[in-house]
Amino acid sequence: MRPRPPWSCRRTSVGAPPVESILHIGVDDEQPPSLSTVPMSPDLDAADDSFDFILVASSDERLIQRLNGMRHVESVSTSLKGSDAKWRLSNEEETYAALNAVVE
């Protein structure tokens, strides 16, 4: 097996750019992008009942671990293995029921 060149490493579970660069909003270009420095919404500190967060529902443990280090993240593992996720869904029906409850 040939070693991979350092520039060809996989960035995320789907090979897309890291989520920090996708959500790079309102941050100076000289600073490295980080969700902890990006405002989630203009009125995040407003005194109303709304709030913003990132919901990660995945069986990809590396993705869950990376996103758990950021602010405003709720992680849900859909894997039956041990996980660092804050929540766990044990089967497909439970996953769909929980997501439907969030949407409604």
Other C-beta atoms closer than 10 Å to the C-beta of 89 total 20
For the chain, the domains span 13-40+50-103
3-state secondary structure (DSSP) of residue 7? helix
Q: How many residues can be counted in the chain?
A: 104
Amino acid identity at 46: A
What pTM, to 2 d.p., does this model score? 0.44
C-alpha distance from residue 25 to each of 5, 7, 15, 52, 70 (Å): 30, 25, 21, 15, 15
Alpha-carbon torsion (39, 69, 53, 33), positive or negative: positive
Mind listing the pLDDT tens digit of every residue in the chain (104 residues)?
555 555 444 444 455 555 555 454 444 545 444 444 444 554 445 445 565 788 888 888 999 899 888 888 888 888 878 888 888 877 778 778 877 887 87
Amino acid identity at 38: V
